[in-house]
Copies of this chain bind each other. A is one copy, B any other.
Amino acid sequence: MKDYVVGLDIGGTKLAAGLFDLNLKEISFIKCDTEAFRGGQVVVENCKAIVHQVLEKSGISRDRVASIGISSPGPLDTHTGIVTYVETIGWKNVPIRSIMEEEFNVSVVLENDANAAALAENVRGAGEGTKNMIYITVSTGVGSGIILEKKLYRGSHDAAGEFGHICIVPGGRPCGCGNRGCLQSYASGTALANAARAGITAGENSAILLKAGGIPEKIHAFQVEEAAKENDAFAIKLWEEMGYHLGLGISILVQLFDPDRIVIGGGMSRAWDLFYGSMMESVRSNTYEVLSENLQVVPALLGDKAGVFGAATLGIAIV
């Protein structure tokens, strides 16, 4: 009987795998280093190894596994199962689906990480019970996964939900994608660190610099978070500006999608109290009152387990 699925979450730093029954009950779970520094081929081998290990740990026999769901950074092609290009793990056109299908002789489904996390939060996280929900991940960059009528919405070319790269400031800051004014250039960990660096270099007095050992180049978002929590005025202002810009983007989602709920995950969401106020003020000033009144904007619940849960959910869907 094939009554279990595996969820595999591929991240730049960590791999995680879980074995689940068909009701998405977790049987076993493990994490290990991605070891991206050793090159893309090692990452592939580590993906195989962690799935073998999670099976061994559970004591469930391999032929009871019905499918494997994989959550991976993109861009990737869900139809061919190929990860197109992910610099951080050294992958270029890696057919991870067929690799895993051969290794484990089961059906495999591949999905990008933001979509997988969105699905997970919708099925049993902060978006449980909602019909139309948008999951936003704010960390180094910004991504999103869109759940409409309780199903993942992928768009016509698997490219929907590029929330980090909608233009919110016409002609604004240059973005790594080549365009200008993208939300990600204003409301991400990278943007926050850049803004801190620029301000301090221009003479702002802030505890952030001390935390970065006096070296502006070493300023990182987590130091801005620490400083803000210690009441550093400049750091607090930076988080409020981030909230303002994130709220601008969310207002656009609200006006276009009219969702029940927006769920925010990713490393930056841990600093919730530092940006929530300015974010909601910005949402309210840029949406219809009737929509922002009914809207719930909440932090994600599943943390770093979202990828594995989402992958397993997709695995169950193809059983």
Contacts and interface: CB of A to CB of B under 8 A. Distances in A.
A30 interface: no
Interface string A132-166: 10000000000000101000011111111111011
Contact of A251 (B132, B166, B290): B166
Contacts of A156: 131-132, 258-260, 294
A160 B248 contact: no
A167 B132 contact: no
Q: Which of A146, A258, A259 has the most CB of B within 10 A?
A: A258
A159 B258 contact: yes
A157 B215 CA distance: 50
Interface SS of chain A? loop
B256 A290 contact: no
A288 B170 contact: no
A124 B150 CA distance: 28
Contacts of A294: 156-157
B132 A288 contact: no
Nearest to A165: B255
Given A167-B286, A170-B168, A157 B256 contact: no
A179 interface: yes
Contacts of A202: none
A155 B286 contact: no
A272 interface: no
Contacts of A258: 154-162
B286 A159 contact: no
Interface string A165-198: 1111110000001011100000000000000000
Contacts of A298: none
B248 A159 contact: no
Contact of A162 (B159, B170, B288): B288
B288 A167 contact: no
A37 interface: no
Contacts of A159: 258, 288, 290-291
B132 A256 contact: no
Interface of A: 131-132, 146, 148, 153-163, 165-170, 177, 179-181, 248, 251-253, 255-260, 285-288, 290-291, 294
